[in-house]
Amino acid sequence: MLKGIPKILSPELLKVLAEMGHGDKIVIADGNFPSQSMGKNGVVIRCDGHGVPELLDAILQLFPLDTYVEKPVTLMEVVPGVDVKTPIWDTFKEITAKHDPRGANAIGWIERFAFYEESKKAYAVIATGESALYACMILQKGVLDPRTVI
């Protein structure tokens, strides 16, 4: 056991977060996302039984978002013509604002197939049991500034 580490973060996930460098990306995928096929060029970490919001909150306690890009958090846009509500996006905005001063302004959206292409280039994919639709995201890692780290 370690102090100060959220218990939801497995040793495997902690190792991956530590290995990642500035600009590397990690996908937090909902239960419908094709995690194994999208993550075949990286590391796939299974977090079945956990949802995206609790993992996002735990990860952002340790993971600096990139300050050199405008939108270090990327969500998948709803496919045009599909009538789907995305209340989980409000939760993502709240969690991001808790950990990054840009808040909701740190979040951007890209088209579904563009999201898949970006996912294929990610360092890792976290496969969750999240049942909400359009609950996938890509986080881009930033740097820790020794002047501001406590």
Contacting residues for 20 by C-beta, under 8 A, at least 6 apart: 26, 123, 124, 141
Predicted local confidence at residue 150, as pLDDT: 56
Contacting residues for 115 by C-beta, under 8 A, at least 6 apart: 74, 76, 77, 136, 138
Per residue in 50-100, pLDDT tens? 999 999 999 999 999 999 999 999 999 999 999 999 999 999 999 999 999
Predicted local confidence at residue 79, as pLDDT: 96
Best CA proximity match to 100, nearest among 144, 60, 148, 53 = 60
Cα–Cα distance for residue pair 25/72, rounded to 1 Å: 9
CA 123, 12, 128, 62 torsion: positive or negative? negative
Burial bucket for residue 97 (CB in 10 Å: 0-12, 13-18, 19+):
middle
Residue 29 has pLDDT above 80, yes or no: yes
* pTM score of the predicted model: 0.95
The one-letter code for the residue type at 25 is K
Domains of the chain (ranges plus CATH)? 11-140 (3.40.1650.10)
Confidence of residue 148 (pLDDT cuts 50, 70, 90): low
Q: Which residues are catalytic?
A: 22, 66, 116
